[in-house]
Structure 1
């Protein structure tokens, strides 16, 4: 409000310069100076201030209604006590008391709760300030330019701190509302992905733009860089994804350190775009994978898809599968193997146990077998992946056949070897 103080001083100085010697300052001169202040404020250029009240009439009877109209319909009851506070300040020159500032903060809080914009409630108070100016006791009773200057400075300072208090109350109410919304959202996400309170989830989901009656899929990201709720990565992915796809019925959130995306099965473009945005947000130096669950319907379907996405991540990491995106539907064969872990252990023991006797241990031979099968039984491609010579690869494969009796050249024996190698990874053999 420093500009306002300078304006008051300039108006009063101009008034003094125009006053004739020997003619004392009068009440009319004071009111004229105050009116000049009003004319210099931007709002007053096109609006007419109320007339000076007659004796015995409430000077602020119509100011609240006029200020409300001037502020485009912001409720005038938000001014409760403000004009009386300004009137007191104009007379005493003292700043607003702590209890009066608390009242302004409460007004800011109420305005936020009622959906009034911060701009609107501030406009209401500033309009009321200039509309009530000529009716303030300190201005009406002023007997000279110095008195007008003192009243103006006190009133402008009071309006300044009042508006600041209103903004503080408004912002605090907004922060509280955001925290409440975040709390509701976190509780909903936990219930959704843990499978709790399924009977109420469908209704609650509508608040966050989800339709659980249909079929949904869940993508889950795990990375070496921590992903937290509301963190930089989560915000960047959510914002970028929203700019590139229709974001209706899509939820981006976090759970147990994973970045989660829930999307309708009918939107096959969303998971692929989600993967692209995750890569952009995490950068090239971060190791990360995405597990994609299968589509399931209903509130419980999201839980099942999330569990499958998480399981796909676990399998991809244990098996060292290449690529970023790992779909649960493509990993069903591994689940079949793990369902009979006893039989899998027997297979690994029977087929691969002899490799323990190899010089250097079984690991180099297991690594060669895994790369050989992953590269379509092509020794040259296997050699390139392992940075070995082709002769080294063929020697290791021959050594496997000598130790185990299983050859990669025999289709049936090669299948047993391949399943046994997968089982070794799943069971962390020989560790």
Structure 2
């Protein structure tokens, strides 16, 4: 064991190499270099720090520094006393050997570290894929989760951020969001990753402030991307459910052009309910809005008019502004809809049927896609 706690096995053969180099002036052989690399790999796998290992090599070089014995006054003939010294050429050879040995050792050490990092990244990615897709044995998945800071016996919620480009874990955007989270909350059993080009944050269900902060940071980092937050769910399968809820919300937001950078699944439960019975929704859309296909220009302009009118709270002036129409032109369109469908958008009784049908049409991309 060296003075700094490095076992002697990682210096095996080092002193012999220095002695051989001092006597011959040669460089290290291929086998010697290979042996130093292998020792470096083993030291990395054992968890020793590179700084301490290099220090151990330098200390061993000082202890085993080769010397030669020569007459101290041979050039003057004044005496026969002897001393020890190392010639300049020998010193150069030994220093070159130390450089070669340490470089080969560090190369092996770094190679082992790179391999360990790749294996860790691969294991993390495999765990994330299994977690978000609900694959693998649940008990084993829960055990693996603890390695990455998650305790899946508790409730967890998932937030998903979607930008204008796809991201992976090595990109600057995910790293900046992760650094912001760590800087604000430290280690709170939060996992931030990417999946299918989106940012994904998994946090304990009782820590809504973490996901809210993630949403804020992700919105800024993605230059105005959209964030969806699933409901907290218990157990291993709860992460999958919350993740899928968040994805469904993003899909709904795109189809319905929902406002707001942050959308919560808990606030949008009505939409999955409306589309759960697709056959019933199809019949409603065709019954309530089908007659609009007889209008000049087809049904789409009138469906857009209804959608904006409802989103504006049925305020004609605001809806006209959003559609870049005059109030008179908007009123004409509403009257046309009334005449074709028999339902008056201004009548509260008819309004609910038309609004539900419009939501269904947007969710099912009708009439662009026929039933």
Does TM-score exceed 0.5, indicating one fold? yes
Contact 2:25–2:93 (CA under 8 A) maintained in structure 1: yes
Gap change, CA 1:336 and 1:227, over 3 Å in 2: same
Pick from 341, 349, 358 the counterpart of residue 286 of structure 2: 349
2:206 alignment partner in structure 1: 266
CA contact (8 A) 2:164 2:222 kept: no
CA distance in 2, matches of 1:389, 1:243: 51
Offset at 1:419? 0.5
- Change in 2 beyond 3 A, CA 1:248/1:143: farther
Cα deviation for residue 335 of structure 1 reads 0.9
**For residues 288 and 63 of structure 2, what CA distance do their matches in structure 1 show?**
94
Specify whether residues 187 and 317 from structure 1 end up closer, same or farther in structure 2 by C-alpha distance, changes over 3 A only. Answer: same
In structure 1, the partner of 2:185 is: 245
Q: CA deviation at 1:425?
A: 0.5
1:142-189: CA deviation from partner (whole Å, max 9, x where unpaired): 679997100000011111121111211111111111111112111211
For the 8 Å contact 1:210–1:248, the answer to whether it is kept is: no
1:140-155 residue pairs with structure 2 within 5 A?
140-141=68-69, 148-155=87-94
1:85 to partner: Cα distance: 0.4
| Aligned mates of 1:375, 1:161 — CA distance in 2 | 76
Aligned to 2:78: none
In 2, the alpha carbon distance for the partners of 1:222 and 1:403 equals 40
Aligned residue among 122, 134, 138 for 1:183: 122
- TM-score, length-scaled by structure 1: 0.79
Q: Which residue of 2 aligns with 1:381?
A: 318
Q: Which blocks of at least 5 consecutive residues in structure 1 are unaligned?
A: 1-64
Which stretches in structure 2 are left out of the alignment for 5+ residues?
73-83
Q: Determine which structure has more spread, i.e. the larger CA radius of gyration.
A: 1
For the residue of structure 2 that corresponds to 1:360, the secondary structure is coil
Partner of 1:55: none
Residue 115 in structure 1 maps to residue 55 in structure 2: no
Distance 1:181 1:394, change over 3 A: same
TM-score, normalised by the number of residues in structure 2: 0.91
Contact 2:314 2:346 in 1 (8 A): no
Secondary structure in 2 aligned to 1:412?
Answer: helix
* Closer/same/farther in 2, CA of residues 418 and 143 from structure 1, 3 Å limit: farther
* Cα 1:143–1:238 shift into 2, 3 Å: farther
Which residue of 2 is the match for residue 54 of structure 1?
Answer: none
> Does structure 2 retain, via aligned residues, the 8 Å contact 1:76–1:124?
no
